[in-house]
Amino acid sequence: MSAAELVLIIAIIVAFVTTLVLAIIMRRPR
């Protein structure tokens, strides 16, 4: 696995986790 592939995979994981966290925060009533 090359460095470019590793960076791409990490970017996808970070974007996915960020989307999940934002969805949880938006769904929680304040």
- For every residue of 1-30, DSSP letters joined together read --HHHHHHHHHHHHHHHHHHHHHHHHHS--
d(CA 1, CA 11): 15
pLDDT at 29: 75
Q: What is the pTM of this model?
A: 0.65
pLDDT in 10s for each residue of the chain, 30 residues? 799 999 999 999 999 999 999 999 999 877
Structure token pair of residue 5: 């592939």
Q: How many CB atoms lie within 10 A of CB 19?
A: 10
pLDDT at 30: 73
Split into its structural domains, the chain has a count of 1
pLDDT at 13: 99
Domain with 5 in it? 1-29
